[in-house]
A and B are shown apart, each in its own frame.
Chain A
Amino acid sequence: MDRRESLKALALGTLSVGTIISATGCEDKKGESGSKDKAGEMPGYGRTADEVKRDKALMGEPFFTAAEMKTITVLADMIIPKDEHSGSASDAKVPEFIGFIVKDIPDHQLPMRGGLKWLDTQCLKRYNAAFVDCSEQQRKEMLDLIAYPETALPENSQGVAFFNRMRDLTATGFFTSKMGIKDLGYVGNTPNEWDGVPADVLQQYGYSYDEKTLATCLKIEDRGKLMTWD
Chain B
Amino acid sequence: MAFEIKKQGKAYDVCIVGSGAGGGMAAKILSEAGLKVALLEAGPKYDPADPEQATQLKWSYDSPRRGASSTRPFGDFDAAYGGWQIDGEPYTKKNGTQFDWFRSRMLGGRTNHWGRISLRFGPRDFKHKSYDGLGDDWPISYEEVAPFYDRVDKMIGVFGTKENLPNEPDGFFLPPPKPRMHELMIKKAGDKLNIPVIPSRLSILTRSVNKDRSPCFYCSQCNRGCTVYGDFSSSSVLVKPAMKSGHVDLYDNAMVREVLTDDTGKATGVAYIDKTDLQEYSVNARVVVLAASACESARLLLNSKSAKHPNGLANSSGVVGKYLHDSTGSSRGGFLPMLMDRKRYNEDGVGGMHVYIPWWLDNKKLDFARGYHIELGGGMHMPTYGYGFGIHTLNGRIPGKDGKTKPAGGYGASLKDDYRRFYGAYIGFAGRGECIAREDNYCEIDPNVVDKFGIPVLRFNYTWSEHEIKQAKHMQDTFEELIHAMGGIPLGTKAGPETNYGLENPGRIIHEVGTTRMGDDPKTSVLNKYNQAHEVKNLFVVDGGAFVSQADKNPTWTILALSMRASEYIIDQLKKQNI
Contacts and interface: CB of A to CB of B under 8 A. Distances in A.
Please classify the interface of chain B as helix (H, G, I), strand (E, B), loop, or mixed, using the class held by over half of its residues: loop
B384 interface: yes
A188 B384 CA distance: 13
B135 interface: no
B54 A181 contact: no
A106 B206 CA distance: 42
A197 B177 CA distance: 11
Given A189-B59, A227-B157, A201 B388 contact: no
Interface string A192-225: 1111111011101101010001001111001111
B158 to A, nearest CB: 11
Given A105-B70, A150-B396, A150-B408, A226 B209 contact: yes
Interface string B30-65: 000000000000001000000111110111111111
Contact of A186 (B67, B344, B408, B419): B344
B76 A164 contact: no
8 contacts: A8-B228, A46-B58, A177-B60, A194-B178, A197-B181, A204-B343, A205-B181, A218-B178
Contact of B177 (A101, A105, A167, A218): A218
A229 B207 contact: no
A119 to B, nearest CB: 13
A226 B207 contact: yes
A173 B66 contact: yes
Nearest to A37: B52
A171 interface: yes
A198 B385 contact: no
How many chain B residues sit at the interface, stated as a range, is 35 or more
A178 B409 contact: no
B55 A45 contact: yes
Interface in B373-411: 380-392, 396, 407-411
Contacts of B195: none
Contacts of B209: 226-227
Nearest to A76: B411
Residue from A200, A209, A224, A229 whose CB has the most chain B CB atoms within 10 Å: A229
A189 B389 CA distance: 22
B549 to A, nearest CB: 30
B176 A172 contact: no
B219 A192 contact: yes
A14 B275 CA distance: 44
Contact of A164 (B184, B188, B409): B409
B568 interface: no
B228 A11 contact: yes
Contacts of A85: 420
B157 A194 contact: no
B320 to A, nearest CB: 33
B64 A149 contact: no
A172 B411 contact: no
Interface stretch (B124-132, B345-353, B463-471): B345-353
Nearest to A222: B207
Interface stretch (A51-59, A63-71, A110-118, A120-128): A51-59
B82 to A, nearest CB: 10
Given A147-B410, A218-B178, A187 B385 contact: no
B140 interface: no
Contacts of A134: none
B178 A188 contact: no
Nearest to A35: B62
Interface in A158-186: 160, 163-164, 167-168, 171-178, 180-181, 183-186
Interface string B409-437: 11111011101100100000000000000
Interface in B201-256: 206-211, 214-215, 217-221, 227-228
Given A168-B388, A201-B181, A222-B175, A45 B407 contact: no
Given A58-B64, A201-B345, A218-B178, 11 more contacts: A11-B215, A46-B52, A48-B44, A80-B416, A81-B413, A167-B409, A176-B61, A176-B66, A194-B218, A207-B184, A213-B178
A13 to B, nearest CB: 8
Closest 9 CB pairs of A and B: A11-B214, A171-B388, A196-B178, A185-B344, A188-B348, A46-B55, A176-B66, A218-B175, A176-B60
B148 interface: no
Contacts of A39: none
Given A176-B61, A223-B207, A7 B217 contact: yes
A226 B211 CA distance: 8
B81 interface: yes
